[in-house]
Structure formats: C-alpha cells, structure tokens
Amino acid sequence: MTWRAYRSRLDEYAKLMRLDKPIGTLLLLWPTLWALWLAASGRPDARWLVIFVLGTVLMRSAGCVINDYADRNFDPHVARTRERPLAARRVRPGEALLLAAGLSLAALCLILPWATPLLLGLALVAAFLAASYPFTKRFFAIPQAYLGIAFGFGIPMAYAAQQGELPPTAWVLLLANVFWAVAYDTEYAMVDRPDDLKIGIKTSAITFGRFDVLAVMLCYAAAFGLIAWVGLAEGLGIPFLVGLGAATGLALYHYTLIRARQGPDCFKAFLHNNWVGAAIFAGIALDYVWRGILPF
C-alpha cells in the first residue's frame, strides 16, 4: 500500500472518530473538569488532569466509532449522516470494531498504573455505557438520558481519582449532567426528527413532540439548579454564581434559536452548549482563584 493510500485510510479513521468535529469531546470534557476542580478544591493533581483530558478524547472517539457501527444501516437514510465512512462503505465494520477496541484499550492503559479498584471499576462501567448507548435508540424513548450518564461518567471517576471515594455531590453533579445532555441533545435531535421518524429511531425530540422546546428549557433549569446546589454545598460564591448566571443567559438565548424548530438554528444551539459548559467551569475555577487557592 502506498503512502497516499495509508494517508487516505487514516483520514477515514479520523472522520470515523469525529476528530474534525470536537464538539462531542468538549461536551464530554467540561463536566469532567467541573468534577476534577470540585473534588480537588481547586487544586487538581496535574497527573489526573492530563489523564482525564487524554482519556476523554480517546473514549469519545471510541464512542463515535461504536455509534456509527451501530447505525451503519440507518445513517445512509439520513441526509446529515449518509457520508460517514461506515454509512458510505469506505470503512468495513470489522475495521471499525478493531479501531474502537484499540481506542478503549488505550484509554484503559492511561489509568491502569494508578487505578484503585474503585476507579478501575468505574472505568469499566464507563466503557460499557459508551459501547451500549448507540443501541438504546432502538427501544428507549429518551436515549439522551442514557447519553447523559455516559457523557457524565467522568464525574464519579474524577472524584474517585482525587478523593478515593464518591460523595453525594458526585452523584448530584452526574444527575445535573443528565439533564444538561437531554437539553442539548434534544436540540440536536430536533434537526434529524423528520429522518428519524422515517427510519424508526427513538429520540427525545420525537418523544417530547410539541412540548420539545418546553422540555429543553425545563432540563436546562433542572441542570443549573442541581449545579447551583453542588457549588453552594462546596462553599463556592460570587464567581461561581456569575459563571452559572452566564450559562443561564446562554440557555435563554438557545430558546430564541429553537422556538421556531428550524434545523440550522437548532443545530447552532446544540453547538453553542460548548460555551455553557465553559461558563460553568470558568465560574468554578475562578471561584477558587478568587479565594486565593491557585490550581497546581
């Protein structure tokens, strides 16, 4: 095989891993960073910070590969996904499974040297959630809730790594992430609703029906309320509340985008959730700086 052929193959693998579309990685990373900072009172261990950032990239990539493998017979019928490597038959299913396994193994190897039994157990659960999520769209009315657990499982892992235990705040923060994921992924599902109805995939946008916009806003409210409870329970103050207030303002802006249920605007709202996660993280991190506890 020539270098050009190798390069073409690597390009297909990169597309399969969505390396050209980092929004999923960011939506997975922000809750993990919230938890790392909260669990370490603003001073996360640099080793764990590097491990969790790299692990997030690897596991999100593996999840994308498994998702496309599971949807390889559905994606050709959806306008937005028909050119994905598996849907377009440019990558074979067996190749995809090997790639997903390699990415998952690499992520596991990152934590093995320092993993406690608790952390290792959580890592295995996280891998199962990532691998099983794509199949929930066949039978679960709101698969976005399952996605929220999968995307938020870095939260208990971060607490386990930093504290060696799982306090109640870890689970409340995970629940907050579930509501946030339902909100942003419903916006995403609103884009594909016509195609999803034709092929029989279940999504929250279909389940909520004409109450989809209301459901999105209520999920935002629940997520932010739970995050506020966690922050106040941890003794955070004004900078944290300012960051959460900024996230709330962004969510209200999303309402103006999704209320007409137009595909491009709904997708724009979905992408904009990167800034929601960033605003919350900035509030948490700056609160510890505000109190004179510098990270590292």
Q: Contact 68/75 with Cβ under 8 angstroms? A: yes
- The whole-number pLDDT of residue 296 equals 47
DSSP-assigned letter for residue 113: G
In terms of Cβ atoms closer than 10 Å to its own Cβ (0-12, 13-18, 19+), residue 2 is: exposed
Q: How far, in Å, CA of 62 to CA of 183, rounded? A: 23
Locate tokens 């092929």: which residue? 199
**Rounded mean pLDDT for each run of 10 residues along the chain, 296 residues in total:** 73 89 94 97 94 94 89 77 83 91 92 91 92 86 92 95 96 98 96 83 91 97 98 95 98 97 95 97 94 59
| Dist CA 187 CA 264 (whole Å) | 10
- Residue 189: predicted pLDDT: 92
For residue 150 the two structure tokens come to 């999968």
Token pair listed for 252: 């209200």
Q: What is the model's pLDDT at position 10?
A: 85
| Domain edges within the chain | 3-290
Instruction: Give the pLDDT of residue 68.
Output: 86
Cα 272 from Cα 278, distance rounded (Å): 10
Tell me what pLDDT residue 291 has: 79
> What is the per-residue pLDDT for 1?
58
Which architecture does CATH list for 3-290? Orthogonal Bundle (1.10)
pTM (two decimals): 0.92
C-alpha dihedral over 131, 119, 176, 148, to 10 degrees?
0
